[in-house]
Structure 1
Amino acid sequence: MRSCWHPEAWQVINNLVSMICRLCNGEQDANTDFVKLELMEFLSMIPPNEINHASVSDHLHIFTSSCVPQALVMLYMSPYKHNKECATESVQELMASIRFMLPQTVSSQFVPVVLLLCKMLQRAAGYDDSLYKFCRSSLGDLVKDAKNFNHGGVVDDDDNKVVIELQDMFPFAAEVASKLSRGLVSSVESVSDFRFLRDDVTDFVAFLKPLKAAVRYHLVSPSILPSIAKFNEEINKIKFVYMLFDGMLKTLVGCFEKMEGLVIEKKENGGWDQFLVILKELHDVSKLFQGGERCFWKSLKDFTRSLCHLIVRYAKRGEDYGWILDQKDAIDFESRRHLVMLLFPVVVIDEYDDIHEMLIDRSQLLAESFVYVAREDPERLRRGLFLEFKDEEATGPGVLREWFFLLSQEIFNPKTGLFVACPNDPRRSFPNPGRVIALALMNNIQVGIVFDRSFFLQLAGKNVSLEDIKDADPFLYSSCRQILDMDPLAVDQDALGLTFVWDIDELGSMKVAELCPGGKNMIVNSRNRKAYVDLLIHHCFVASVAEQISHFARGFSDIIGEEKNMKTFFNSLALEDFDRMLHGSESDISVVDWKAHTDYKGYLETDPQIYWFWKLVENLTAKQRKILLFFWISMKYLPVEGFGGLTSRLYIYKSNESIDHLPSSHTCFYQICLPAYPSMAMMKNRLDVITQDHVGYSFGTS
């Protein structure tokens, strides 16, 4: 032993195997702790930072040629309970050390050892054995974490040698896929064992990673696989991956067929949180085959309800859902909204957090608000906002909602010059500082504003076309449409009298801007009129507001985190989606819905004051209802779901104040405090006062 390489390592392994043999023979003085200690001693001898990995290979040779894996399995299958426990602890410690103690370049060389352990445990103990499943998961983790793959298998980083063949992973991938399929079916038929289902999903994703890497080199149509598979080893690998994909997709379709009814009946069995993980993995595989992605989405087209339920229920912040958002028409508005809102940081207000405090003078609302918002570190703004109005006691979420609404209305007021209203739709406007809008979205506050299509498209990084400016500038749209529709002969006879320039009115002074170099000398004709219209639209709606849009985008990105998230946000929504998120419901406030989401404290629903109240609300104008709602909860615009979309139910409290007093409110808690007025006429008089626009927010207390 002294004459061989690494004699200390040989000695440790020899002692280890000898002790295992003694334990298996039932010797009473054999020490079970010795096995684990010697195993760890051996691993500590492997040089972790040696550039030449010959020493690592030598140690692996010592480990395998001494039949340590076989000895550990023999110990595990021993009839003595303490031996089984010893083997379990030793193997678990070995797996943990390989994965977490050794550097990746070294641990990748242990993959064949773990593979051998898995094969032997599978044969000796069976598929359902806990130690086998632990080793199988460890193998999957090692394979998944490996940095180097090729079409042959997992490759060692240093000498580019294949340490595990791709075919060696087929049985494990197939086994996991089969077990996972059974678990998924069980999850829609009965209550599943969530833990094991999650473990199976983790293993499935792990074993698929190198398989996908191999298939990525060969984009093949599934239709030709049967005819060429028997002649081509590479195609056999591709066929295996396709069969996994096809089988799992069919399983999911069967599950979704049952899930549709369960979603309607609100009977979820559990374990459904793993469906999105599997769908993402299958979508990734589908892109490896010609027509595969189309097949994937076609298979799901009849199960929108189930897919949307999974998204709203289980989609989590920090995960990648671009694969769904790229097919945004496959899901509904609520799901799209949920996914894009996950791009924002979560608002968690804690008394120990360094939240951003603001003290605002109502008479200087716009100026002071922008000082607080524009100059503050975005990180503090994301932590939460606390606001007070000067000389007012009210604080809390209700005051914050009021501030967002009032500030947005002020920003979008044409008199401020920050925005210009669109002639065809006075609700729509051009760019403003983006932090305010992003903060309103992050805090789920509807501010009654929508944006012009051309602005929205540019935030998404898309081009602006003629049809996109229809609302923003109907006169220019009509003029451009006439130019494009004119008889070509008339255009070529210079009936238009146009060149590639545009007249600009700057503070009463007319200036001429060339739409392209040499534009003054370029006459518009039938051949270039489309280019003229495109350049004109670009000048008026892109180039002329590029700086403002850049400022808005930068402000929005400050809150959502980065520019990539901002573009994903706007790319994943239709303009109508964004309208609904920012503006809220377009419908008139429903008194029936209002009443259904209101509870009572101190009053009974049958009390005359409650009957009078709702009768009077029914007779209010649409504008008065908005003012009353604003007085009550500091919101004039409801979410698209109506009152059901609010974070709380509403409350009518019986006030102890004199009947001479007006109603008051605690907007933070969605409470209106109503004195016990003795008549409907007196209550009407009091409601008439608080539903006047200029006093509608004057009596809230928090």
Structure 2
Amino acid sequence: MTLLDSPTIDCVQQRIKRKLEDFIDDDLSSSDLVSVRMRKDDPNPDSPSSTATLNSFPDQITTHHPHFQPRASSSSICSFPNFTQFFVRMISGGKTLVLHGNPEDKIMSIHEKIQSATGIPLMEQRLIYGGKQLHWEQSLSQCGITNDSGLHLVGRMRSTGHPQAWQVVDDLVSVICRLCKGERGVCIKSVKSRLMEFLNMTPKDGIDHAAPYLNIFLSSSAIAALVMLYMSPHTGNKECAEDSIQHFIKSSRNVLPRPIYPEFAPIVLEFCKLLGRATAHDDPLYKLCRSSLGSMVEHVKIGRNSKYYDGSSYKKVVIAVQEIFPFVDELAKKLSEGLISSMESNFGPSPNDVRDFAAFVRPLKDAIVSQVPFGTLIPMPYNQNLPCYSEEVKFLYMLFYDLLANLQLCLNKVEDVVKKEKGDGGWDQYLSILKELHYISELYQGAEDYFWTNLKSYKASLCYLIVRYAKRGDDYKWILDHKDLTDFESRRHLVMMLLPELKDEYEELHEMLIDRSQLLSESFEYIARADPDTLRGGLFMEFKNEEATGPGVLREWFFLVCQAIFNPQNALFVPCPNDRRRFFPNPASKVDPMHLDYFSFAGRVIALALMHKMQVGIVFDRAFFLQLAGMNVCLEDIKDADPYLYNSCKQILDMDPCAVDEDTLGLTFVWESEELGSMKVLELLPDGKQITVNSKNRKEYVDLLIKHRFVTSVSQQVTHFARGFADIVTDEEIQKCCFKSLELEDLDGMLHGSESDVSVDDWKAHTEYNGYKDTDPQIYWFWKIVGGMSAEQRKVLLFFWTSVKYLPVEGFGGLASRLYIYKSNESFDRLPSSHTCFYRICFPAYSSMAMMQQRLNVITQEHVGCSFGTW
């Protein structure tokens, strides 16, 4: 059984609309509520047999289509003024029985006419009018039935397959009807309780069992009744309806299993339709229903037809594209209004409107794509005919250009305001709207190029928005590949949003107690053997036999362990000859049987260092970096890692072709290398020893040479490093995205830090004093001494003071805190001390500059400055 739109619902909507236009006066009665129910023994109300039965009593009963308003004919009512015409809402197919009777006729006679027309036994019928059941012995006049009255036919539930569900719905409608009439003594809370009773009784063991129940609710007048209650002027009715509908819709997500939940979407859609007609689009209940529907459409199948073929069988389309199209139109207008408003005030597009817009646009675009030949784009102007969605195709195209034009005006405003440093406001949804416009642009020929070409003019604004508003958990893959539109700061921010967020809970930190003399091996045990979830929670570091703990000690550990990992003596990595700061995996690392485990450990440590924003003085070689990003390595990428091989390959490629063909080089497709003291020969192609390098195949020879030297020979090491990195960032796709989103120089800045010498002026500008004043002689002496230090001495002093040896690329302004100089009460013979967690150095008021210089010279020695701080 499927959920189908009932024509009767449209009739109800017309009646609701008509009543709302009359401001819902106090004469509201049950005649405004229609209940339609499919009988178990008459599943098809439109079948020939059913129609024949209804038409067999033309003098008493006629069928009435719900879109046609009933009116008495001149030959009946006008001719017989003592007769009363009234309508009985049938329990099948939206049919309405039009009956004529004398005011003194008993209700029993009405039941008999219904039985003659429908075959429903007398004992299975109930007639409801004014919220009350009519008794057989009463007359029409006693029940107050007048011309054009509407009666509500309800069976006694024995003729339906789901009597309890029908009973709950009928009771719900009856209660609402009484509330709308303003009756006293009706329990308002029963509306919510009956809704939840219906939801809880809906079967949870499969769509086939649940769908008939949801169809009952959709086919009944319950939705229309609830909307009528929401619009009712009687005290408490609006609040009751709002609370009940909200609770009903929100609870459906938790009560209904995930496979069944999409079947609830047509119910929410019906709420949206009725509320959209009865209220303004900024009505909170309407917006809740619209948002709920938006969250559902991504899980349901939408299309133009009632069924679609999934390759094995035909399946139901739960919602038609035409049903969600009006919401896209409505929300697009709201976004345009918000964008225009944001240029004049601090209020821009609503986050809820942007989220709903995305929720409805995506299935609409997917439905269009399903009609387009695979891999093709739709040309515009649109002069072709797709099987479906011609109007939608044109509409989305115009929507894309209109919204993008408004956004360009907004980005101009952003750039002007940022330059003047006057603050911002109303811009927080610009990136999200741009993402959706890019998504739409992928549908049309030339639209995506147009999108990126226009954004290039607004690079400064785009970078500002990224740094200011890009949040963790949002999808920024649409922009990560376009590095020409971003700068270092914005790319770094986007990558940080890909990394896990550090937790502040002290109890969840992964604790490490490490002996300095066994730094690498013990760090390996703590990091490589730990559950990645534990490491993502944060780290707590302490060195054995030392009192110091906290962030300063953790910064020191990161620096020291990274220096150890990349120390060539440990055979994991080798420095590049042309740039000793850069490292590449050592092809001969297998001298250590645990080398691959250590590469996984190294990947985890580097990911954690990035996550903790630690500058460790290490950078990667380009060939290593490209492999981590899942990209190919070419000749220009090996210049630093192996300058000898680079120059040799360049010579081979640049040589005169004739000289190469004369076998001047004497080369074949083999690679000779020294490994662990012995020479090894590897064929680059099958039977490579017999293939001579000539002018036609020399490019292939060079490519194979580079691939073997920088890819194949270290593939296991790179794979394990990447796997360790992925352990921290949660998966391999994010790992590749982190590196692919950056330039190599970006990673240099994030891992190594500033390449510039420590600036004393910048240092001084970011330092505050406690116990001293900046005019004290000790402060004057201190900065004069620091100014005379060598670059390395300043690094050691900085490390002693903060556990930071390499500053961020922004200099001291990039540190998490300002630095402090504290005046201590120690005697003059004491050396300075530091509290690295708080970036604090302490020293007494030395009596002379010479004394201070002698004390500072001691702590700026490399072996003293490291790990000398107290905590």
Q: Is the 8 A contact 2:328 2:357 kept in 1?
A: yes
1:542 aligns with 2:711: yes
Task: Quote the Cα distance in structure 1 between the aligned partners of 2:256 and 2:783.
Answer: 71
Q: CA deviation at 1:190?
A: 2.1
Task: Quote the Cα distance in structure 1 between the aligned partners of 2:395 and 2:248.
Answer: 31
Task: Quote the Cα distance in structure 2 between the aligned partners of 1:435 and 1:91.
Answer: 49
Which residue of 2 is the match for residue 19 of structure 1?
Answer: 175
Task: Quote the Cα distance in structure 1 between the aligned partners of 2:727 and 2:474.
Answer: 20
Select 2:340's aligned residue among 176, 185, 188: 185
Which residue of 2 is the match for residue 174 of structure 1?
Answer: 329
Q: Is the 8 A contact 2:726 2:732 kept in 1?
A: yes
How do residues 129-278 of structure 1 correspond to structure 2 at under 5 angstroms? 129-146=283-300, 148-150=301-303, 152=305, 160-192=315-347, 197-218=350-371, 224-228=380-384, 234-278=389-433
Q: Larger radius of gyration, structure 1 or 2?
A: 2
Q: Is the 8 A contact 1:357 1:385 kept in 2?
A: yes
Which residue of 1 is the match for residue 231 of structure 2?
Answer: 77
Select 1:645's aligned residue among 814, 839, 847: 814
Task: Quote the Cα distance in structure 2 between the aligned partners of 1:688 and 1:78.
Answer: 85
Q: CA deviation at 1:493?
A: 0.9
Task: Quote the Cα distance in structure 2 between the aligned partners of 1:404 and 1:379.
Answer: 19
Q: Is the 8 A contact 1:156 1:162 kept in 2?
A: no
Q: What are structure 2's unaligned runs of at least 5 residues?
A: 1-154, 586-598
Task: Quote the Cα distance in structure 1 between the aligned partners of 2:551 and 2:164.
Answer: 69
Residue type at the aligned position of 1:386: F
Q: CA deviation at 1:48?
A: 3.8
Which range is displaced more, 257-266 or 538-547?
Answer: 257-266
Cα deviation code 1:30-49 (max 9, x no counterpart): 44334334444444454443
How do residues 351-390 of structure 1 correspond to structure 2 at under 5 angstroms? 351-361=506-516, 363-390=517-544
Q: Is the 8 A contact 1:446 1:635 kept in 2?
A: yes
Task: Quote the Cα distance in structure 2 between the aligned partners of 1:71 and 1:529.
Answer: 81
1:291 aligns with 2:446: yes
Which residue of 2 is the match for residue 28 of structure 1?
Answer: 184
Which residue of 1 is the match for residue 617 of structure 2?
Answer: 448
Which residue of 2 is the match for residue 125 of structure 1?
Answer: 279
Equivalent position SS for 1:502: strand
Task: Quote the Cα distance in structure 2 between the aligned partners of 1:473 and 1:56.
Answer: 68
Which residue of 2 is the match for residue 696 of structure 1?
Answer: 865
Task: Quote the Cα distance in structure 2 between the aligned partners of 1:370 and 1:696.
Answer: 25
Cα deviation code 1:619-673 (max 9, x no counterpart): 2221221111111111221011110111110001112111222212111111111
Q: Is the 8 A contact 2:371 2:387 kept in 1?
A: no
Task: Quote the Cα distance in structure 2 between the aligned partners of 1:303 and 1:137.
Answer: 32
Q: Is the 8 A contact 1:188 1:269 kept in 2?
A: no
Q: CA deviation at 1:103?
A: 4.1
1:409 aligns with 2:563: yes
Q: Structure 1 residues 676, 131: closer, same or farther in 2, change over 3 A?
A: same
Q: Structure 1 residues 675, 276: closer, same or farther in 2, change over 3 A?
A: same
Q: CA deviation at 1:489?
A: 0.9
Q: Structure 1 residues 127, 586: closer, same or farther in 2, change over 3 A?
A: same
Select 1:521's aligned residue among 690, 698, 701: 690
Residue type at the aligned position of 2:205: N
Q: CA deviation at 1:9?
A: 4.1
Task: Quote the Cα distance in structure 1 between the aligned partners of 2:846 and 2:282.
Answer: 72
1:593 aligns with 2:762: yes
Q: Structure 1 residues 428, 96: closer, same or farther in 2, change over 3 A?
A: closer
Q: What are structure 1's unaligned runs of at least 5 residues?
A: none
Cα deviation code 1:490-523 (max 9, x no counterpart): 1111111111122222333223222221111111
Cα deviation code 1:344-380 (max 9, x no counterpart): 322325332251312223x443344334433444333
1:470 aligns with 2:615: no
Q: Is the 8 A contact 2:801 2:840 kept in 1?
A: yes
The answer to which structure has the higher helix fraction is: 1
Cα deviation code 1:35-89 (max 9, x no counterpart): 3344444444544435645x844763x5455533333333222221222223223
Task: Quote the Cα distance in structure 1 between the aligned partners of 2:605 and 2:868.
Answer: 26
Residue type at the aligned position of 2:361: L
Q: Is the 8 A contact 1:189 1:269 kept in 2?
A: no
Equivalent position SS for 2:864: coil
Which residue of 1 is the match for residue 130 of structure 2?
Answer: none
Q: Is the 8 A contact 1:428 1:452 kept in 2?
A: yes
Task: Quote the Cα distance in structure 1 between the aligned partners of 2:427 and 2:525.
Answer: 47
Q: CA deviation at 1:313?
A: 2.7
Cα deviation code 1:163-212 (max 9, x no counterpart): 43322322222112212322233344323388xx1221222122213212
TM-score by length of 2: 0.75
Task: Quote the Cα distance in structure 2 between the aligned partners of 1:278 and 1:153.
Answer: 32
Q: CA deviation at 1:567?
A: 1.3
Q: Is the 8 A contact 2:503 2:537 kept in 1?
A: yes
Residue type at the aligned position of 1:459: L
Q: Is the 8 A contact 2:604 2:727 kept in 1?
A: yes
Cα deviation code 1:594-626 (max 9, x no counterpart): 111100000011111111211222222212211
Q: Is the 8 A contact 2:619 2:752 kept in 1?
A: yes
Equivalent position SS for 1:189: coil
Aligned length: 695
Q: Is the 8 A contact 1:360 1:369 kept in 2?
A: no
Task: Quote the Cα distance in structure 2 between the aligned partners of 1:153 and 1:332.
Answer: 49
Task: Quote the Cα distance in structure 2 between the aligned partners of 1:408 and 1:108.
Answer: 51
Q: CA deviation at 1:216?
A: 1.5
Q: Is the 8 A contact 2:341 2:348 kept in 1?
A: no
Cα deviation code 1:410-461 (max 9, x no counterpart): 3333333332221111111212532332222222111112111111111112
Q: CA deviation at 1:27?
A: 2.6
Q: CA deviation at 1:475?
A: 1.2
Q: Structure 1 residues 176, 59: closer, same or farther in 2, change over 3 A?
A: closer
Task: Quote the Cα distance in structure 2 between the aligned partners of 1:34 and 1:381.
Answer: 51
1:460 aligns with 2:649: no
Task: Quote the Cα distance in structure 2 between the aligned partners of 1:342 and 1:154.
Answer: 41
Equivalent position SS for 1:511: strand
TM-score by length of 1: 0.92
Task: Quote the Cα distance in structure 2 between the aligned partners of 1:71 and 1:689.
Answer: 86
Which residue of 2 is the match for residue 342 of structure 1?
Answer: 497
Residue type at the aligned position of 1:438: A
Equivalent position SS for 1:428: strand
Task: Quote the Cα distance in structure 1 between the aligned partners of 2:307 and 2:192.
Answer: 29
Residue type at the aligned position of 2:409: G
Q: CA deviation at 1:154?
A: 9.4
Task: Quote the Cα distance in structure 1 between the aligned partners of 2:221 and 2:723.
Answer: 62
Which range is displaced more, 84-93 or 318-327?
Answer: 84-93
Task: Quote the Cα distance in structure 1 between the aligned partners of 2:201 and 2:717.
Answer: 63
1:302 aligns with 2:457: yes
Which range is displaced more, 97-106 or 672-681?
Answer: 97-106
Q: CA deviation at 1:486?
A: 0.8
Q: CA deviation at 1:561?
A: 2.6
Q: Structure 1 residues 181, 155: closer, same or farther in 2, change over 3 A?
A: farther
Q: CA deviation at 1:285?
A: 1.9
